[in-house]
Amino acid sequence: MVKVELKWKKFDQAIEDIRHHYQSKSIKMIIGISRGGLVPAVSLSHKLSIPMDSLVWQTRDGDTGRDIQKLEQLSNKYRSKEILFVDDICDSGKTIREIQNWFPDASFATLIDKIPEEGLVEYAPLRFGDEWIIFPWE
């Protein structure tokens, strides 16, 4: 498998693209999906001046973590369309599909969307095929 190293400069540009896309939307909370979505979510939170929280939702490496309690808390505090979920990559779409069951009108942004034809990610500035992506914080 071909490995591609994503540099900080490309990351910064991708975050700026996401910021531009969401700056005029009515997002009140950014949720970084642990682990990969935390770095982009923090950066985007600073750029948009919108609060950020994290969500543990592990669908890889044994499906070991899904923070249902956090989703319940979010659903009691925010309307679905006020939340922007952020992750590093959409590979299979499993994470997004599962979270969409709780928040069908929420927005989803990733740095990379490997399956754009499925329409799961509202905005992703980068596209790759089958390459293995090495993120700058790894």
Q: From CA 104, how far away is CA 80, in angstroms rounded? A: 7
Q: What pLDDT score was predicted for residue 96?
A: 92
107-113 and 132-134 strand pairing? unpaired
Q: What pLDDT score was predicted for residue 64?
A: 55
pLDDT, block means (10 residues), the chain with 138 residues: 94 98 95 93 97 80 62 72 94 90 92 94 92 94
- Please choose, from the candidates 84, 97, 93, the residue with its C-alpha nearest in 3D space to the C-alpha of residue 112: 93
For residue 103, which phi and psi values (nearest 5 degrees)? -130, 75
- Please choose, from the candidates 25, 29, 24, 21, the residue with its C-alpha nearest in 3D space to the C-alpha of residue 45: 29
Residues 99 and 71: beta-carbon distance below 8 Å: yes
Q: What pLDDT score was predicted for residue 63?
A: 56
Q: What pLDDT score was predicted for residue 18?
A: 98
